[in-house]
Amino acid sequence: MRIATWNVNSVNARLETVLRWFETERPDVACLQEIKCVDEKFPAEAFERLGYNVAVHGQKTYNGVAILSRTPLEDVVCGLPGDETDDQARYIEAVVSGQKPVRVASIYLPNGNPLGTEKFDYKLAWMERLHRHAADLLRQEEPLALMGDYNVIPGPLDAANPGEWTGDALFQPESRAALRALLWLGLTDAWTEAGEGPGGYTFWDYQAGAWPRNNGIRIDHGLLSPQAADRLTGCRIDRAPRGWDKPSDHTPLIVELAP
């Protein structure tokens, strides 16, 4: 089973690029972030024609997440539990059916910039909610993949130029500590576990020639429960779409699990 995560930075604005990738890669499951549309405006029919079942948690203009699967999706949850007042569409979860079902979440964690504002406080509070929910899910002792744009650079080796990020919410000690706390629950970072080393970037800014200079960062992650990590056979980053016309500033991360 190949489970991908990709922040597409507006699914409708980049639909041709996104569909090209799906037709080429044909993942079993794909978690999309920053779709930037309400549910009704998500181009579901285009993906259904490719054989995908679709679950969407959208929002006008901003945020929005989706899960696409070749097999039916069950037990769909829209929104991260823990704060009924939070109306930002940043989390969707579902069980991917099959002989060996896997629970999958598509996560678009808050950016948190600028520092010293309520946006950074919201980021940390959201991560604490994710921590509580992940702990609840892990108690079910089932295969689980928490996929998404975490907006956190785990460490200096995950940035081409870490010094450029010291004043950014993505690289603050509090953000990195919150990500480590998730891992300490018993989750596994698929990229690290697969033995992939430095240079595995998933994001390159549109500005200052970041892509041609490979000035990237790793902020898109696949975190696996022990039951899913036991089935991990590989993890790779598909850099190709970042070099296509009208690309997202992110590129797909693909986690591979044994049947």
Distance CA 215, CA 198 (A): 12
Q: Which of 157, 132, 158, 178 is nearest to 220 (CA)?
A: 158
The per-residue pLDDT for 197 is 81
Binding site feature residues: 7, 34, 149, 151, 249-250
Residue 165 pLDDT exceeds 90: yes
Distance CA 118, CA 111 (A): 12
| CATH code given to domain 2-257 | 3.60.10.10
Other CB atoms within 10 A of residue 204 CB: 25
Q: Specify the pairing of strand 144-149 against strand 102-108.
A: parallel
CB contact set of 184 (below 8 Å; sequence gap of 6+): none
Distance CA 57, CA 79 (A): 8
* Backbone CA torsion sign across 123, 125, 131, 137: negative
The kind and range of the H/E element at 94 are strand 91-96
The per-residue pLDDT for 54 is 98
Return the domain boundaries, the chain. Answer: 2-257
Sheet containing strand 53-57, edge to edge, reads 53-57, 65-69, 29-33, 2-7, 253-257, 232-237
The per-residue pLDDT for 72 is 98
Q: What DSSP assignment string belongs to 164-231?
A: GGTTSGGG-HHHHHHHHHHHHTT-EEHHHHTT--TT---B--SSTTTTTTT--B--EEEEE-HHHHTT
Of the pLDDT bands very low, low, confident and very high (cuts 50, 70, 90), residue 143 is very high
Distance CA 120, CA 105 (A): 23
Considering 108, 158, 189, 221, which one is annotated as catalytic? 108
What are the structure tokens assigned to 26, written together? Answer: 């044909």
**Encoded amino acid at 147, one letter:** M
Respond yes or no: is residue 250 known to be catalytic.
yes
Q: Do 42 and 89 meet the contact criterion of CB atoms below 8 Å apart?
A: no
Q: Provide the whole-model pTM.
A: 0.97
Q: What is the pLDDT of residues 176-229, one digit of tens each?
A: 999 999 999 999 999 999 988 888 999 999 998 999 999 999 999 999 999 999
Q: CA-based angle 89:10:242, to the nearest 5?
A: 125
> Which three-class secondary structure state does DSSP give residue 134?
helix
The per-residue pLDDT for 198 is 86
Bridge partners for 96 per DSSP: 73, 102
Q: Which of 95, 59, 63 is nearest to 77 (CA)?
A: 95
Share of the chain above pLDDT 90, in %: 97
Share of the chain above pLDDT 70, in %: 100
The per-residue pLDDT for 199 is 87
Considering 28, 149, 168, 189, which one is annotated as catalytic? 149
Binding site feature residues for Mg(2+): 7, 34, 149, 151, 249-250
